[in-house]
Structure 1
Amino acid sequence: MTTLARDQRTVGPVAGLAPEKSRATEIWQSNRWWIKRTALLPVHVFVFAIISFFIVLLIPGDPVKLVGGPQITAAQYATIQKALGLNGSVFSQLLTYLNNIVHLNFGVSAYSGKSVLSEFSVRLPATLELTLIAFVISIVFAVAASWFVLMRPRNVLSRILTAYSRTAGAIPQYLLAVAAIFIFFATLHWAPAPLGRMSPGLAAVPPITNLPLLDSILRGRFDATGSIVAHLTLPVLVLVASQADLLIKILVRALEEEVDRPSTWFRIASGVPRRIVFLSVFRRALPQLVVLLAAMFGFSLGGAVLLENLFSLGAMGQYAVDAINTKDIVALRGFLLFTATVSLIVFLIVDLVNMILDPRRRSDTATKGN
């Protein structure tokens, strides 16, 4: 017995005599792949807050004089400088800015005189609504088109879709928007004037969720619903046309790779129903698409902001343009931080979904002895 104890102290516990893991340890090891990534989100937001702080400082011009005018007195200059948080050293300004963010105080816009947080609570949902509508339609269209190309490779429509996918990133989004306005509004008169989300004669819909389309449905204002759908059709189509081509290209390539894998041919040779085989192929090809979606959402959000300004939809697009034109540093920092936070949240969700679809990507689940 003494020899066995000495051997265990020397070389560790023998097989079968190792103590069992505690329940808490098992829970942590099986869930740390998503807990650690979720916990890093505030760190990423904090880092970007610091970056955005210095980016805005690099914009040329004196924001104090842009707000108060070139003829302001020294006393007025000092007052506006303090209101904008520009008094003191750069380091003290940064500490004040980060402290305000921790307390969810994003300041007051020097241009509008309204709280940045209150402005975003109204404007950001409208921009997200446009982005999400286009994003969902793009995904559905890309999946359906890829399935059709895979099932009917010699069909004329499949060849058109394949040619369309090869144009990924070749046509600027802004050019597509201008062409759509010229063709469908100025020439064919199929689309309403790009002058807002609703026709000018309609009464505003009282907000519930600040999502204009959803609020019009919840309020039973179907006249407003039809007008919003008509005004959003062109922006949505432009967003879909500018991003679905890349989705189709990536998904078709991933599907073709999965179809040629030995595991797929084994299922076919084993007599597995064709529907099950193709569902398996899609499941294994989806992780590549999911990874791409995270990056594309940021571009979609930026594209929605651009199109909102071009189609006079207001929301975050107009807010960003006004902040840049007036060098409203409070609004600019808030805009950068909010859009980055939304994108980081989407990246996190997509990352977790990707690891749910393919558990092999959960590198943190590997434990000693497995």
Structure 2
Amino acid sequence: MALIVLKRLLGALPNLFGIVLITFLLTRALPGDPAAFFAGPAGTKEAVEQVREKLGLNKSLPEQFVIYLKDLSRGDLGNALSTGQPVREEIITRLPASLELVLASLLFAVVVAIPLGIAAARHPNSWIDHACRLVTTAGVSLPTFFTGLLLTYLLYFVLGWAPSPIGRLDPYLTAPKTITGLYTLDSLLAGNIPLFIASAKQMILPVLTLGIFVLAPLARMTRASMIAVLSADFVRTARASGLSTTTVLVRYAFRNALLPVVTTMGMVFSFLLGMSVIVEKVFAWPGVGSFALEALVASDYAPVQGFVLTMALLYTLLNLAIDMLYVVIDPRVRLAA
């Protein structure tokens, strides 16, 4: 197991270096001059040059990249010019908000998509199969920002079932003491049930917006995998042996259909990381996505580079976790590795 982890981590290093290089070059290729932006509209040419020299933008691209790599080796992601704070501190502060949103959306998608896919596979061409197709088609067809605005209009403005989309918590409430940074979990650890309910309500709209999109590929893959497995000889043998329907579905069929579903979960997690940027902006969610988007508008390089590197690290760790799940689900994977 340790050897598998080491191989995966070493294999991810070239990818991470490529991401760092491409992100560095793309941020420099963006239109706009950060020195002119932060010097202000009244800044003279001399003032702009002073800001550029202070930021190190007067050096050549290779020199800037070498300096950036040296800073990264020390864990220094630079300073956010828009806030004046170190990017690392900003990401550490804001990342729990994004993770809470992404993980809750993934949980919602899994809870809905897997039972829906199994039910559709058990009863092909039935009303539940058609409902599954309708949900998955709508999920992948609607843009996330449109879904978010539509849900806000229906659930908040028309029906009043959801609270106003103003961030993680109502401004009249006090955030729980930081333990994990996840408001729902921290409020539970503190035993503050009303605060837990309030923070959970604020997640309804953004979680539904993200979850509806990613449950579509999960439900489709679950349905396709279960249909293939349910027609296998070992499933027919299990049924002929008199085993209960639940035992056949869970212990024999679903476990053998789980590998492609887990792979799809890794894919949709990457979708969530990307889409959270827009959703955070729509719902005023103070995560790293909205922070990076604001920095991008201001041509602030360091936060954008730090955001992309953080997302790449999260995706690498997720792929490692999926590889470990493969070993748990199917021990033959360990032999192949």
TM-score, normalised via structure 1 length: 0.84
1:300 aligns with 2:295: no
Query: Could you tell me how far 1:61 is from its partner in structure 2?
Result: 1.2
What amino acid is aligned across from residue 282 of structure 2 in structure 1?
Answer: L
Q: Distance in 1 between matches of 2:139 and 2:230?
A: 23
Identity of aligned residues (%): 27
Equivalent in the alignment of 2:90: 119
**1:275 aligned to which of 235, 246, 249:** 246
Deviates most, 166-175 or 331-340? 166-175
Give yes or no for contact 2:259–2:326 (8 Å, CA) kept in 1: yes
1:96 aligns with 2:96: no
Q: Distance in 1 between matches of 2:5 and 2:252?
A: 25
Give yes or no for contact 1:166–1:249 (8 Å, CA) kept in 2: no
Equivalent in the alignment of 1:348: 320
- Higher CA-based Rg: 1
Q: Distance in 2 between matches of 1:173 and 1:276?
A: 38
Q: Distance in 2 between matches of 1:206 and 1:154?
A: 51
Give yes or no for contact 1:291–1:351 (8 Å, CA) kept in 2: no
Q: Distance in 2 between matches of 1:219 and 1:268?
A: 48
Equivalent in the alignment of 2:156: 185
Equivalent in the alignment of 1:144: 115
1:109 aligns with 2:48: no
Equivalent in the alignment of 1:161: 132
Give yes or no for contact 2:98–2:276 (8 Å, CA) kept in 1: yes
Q: Distance in 2 between matches of 1:84 and 1:364?
A: 50
Q: Distance in 2 between matches of 1:347 and 1:142?
A: 21
Give yes or no for contact 2:122–2:227 (8 Å, CA) kept in 1: no
**2:167 aligned to which of 170, 190, 196:** 196
CA RMSD of aligned residues (A): 2.2
Query: Could you tell me how far 1:205 is from its partner in structure 2?
Result: 2.9
SS of the counterpart of 1:199? coil
What amino acid is aligned across from residue 31 of structure 2 in structure 1?
Answer: P
Deviates most, 145-154 or 298-307? 145-154
Equivalent in the alignment of 1:7: none
Per-residue CA deviations over 1:100-156 (Å, capped at 9, x if unaligned) read: 111100011111000101111110111001100110121121122123223444754
Equivalent in the alignment of 1:59: 30
Query: Could you tell me how far 1:268 is from its partner in structure 2?
Result: 3.0
Question: Where do 5+ consecutive residues of structure 2 fail to align?
Answer: none
Q: Distance in 2 between matches of 1:44 and 1:260?
A: 40
SS of the counterpart of 2:176? coil
Give yes or no for contact 2:289–2:307 (8 Å, CA) kept in 1: no
Q: 1:226 to 1:271 in 2, by over 3 A?
A: closer
Query: Could you tell me how far 1:254 is from its partner in structure 2?
Result: 0.6
Deviates most, 193-202 or 205-214? 205-214
Question: Where do 5+ consecutive residues of structure 1 fail to align?
Answer: 1-29, 366-370
What amino acid is aligned across from residue 64 of structure 1 in structure 2?
Answer: A
Give yes or no for contact 1:168–1:245 (8 Å, CA) kept in 2: yes
Deviates most, 100-109 or 188-197? 188-197
Equivalent in the alignment of 1:211: 182
Q: 1:363 to 1:164 in 2, by over 3 A?
A: same
1:245 aligns with 2:219: no
Q: Distance in 2 between matches of 1:104 and 1:206?
A: 27
Give yes or no for contact 1:33–1:364 (8 Å, CA) kept in 2: no
Q: 1:93 to 1:363 in 2, by over 3 A?
A: farther
1:310 aligns with 2:282: yes
Give yes or no for contact 1:32–1:364 (8 Å, CA) kept in 2: no
**1:81 aligned to which of 52, 64, 69:** 52
What amino acid is aligned across from residue 139 of structure 1 in structure 2?
Answer: V
What amino acid is aligned across from residue 116 of structure 1 in structure 2?
Answer: V
Query: Could you tell me how far 1:274 is from its partner in structure 2?
Result: 3.6
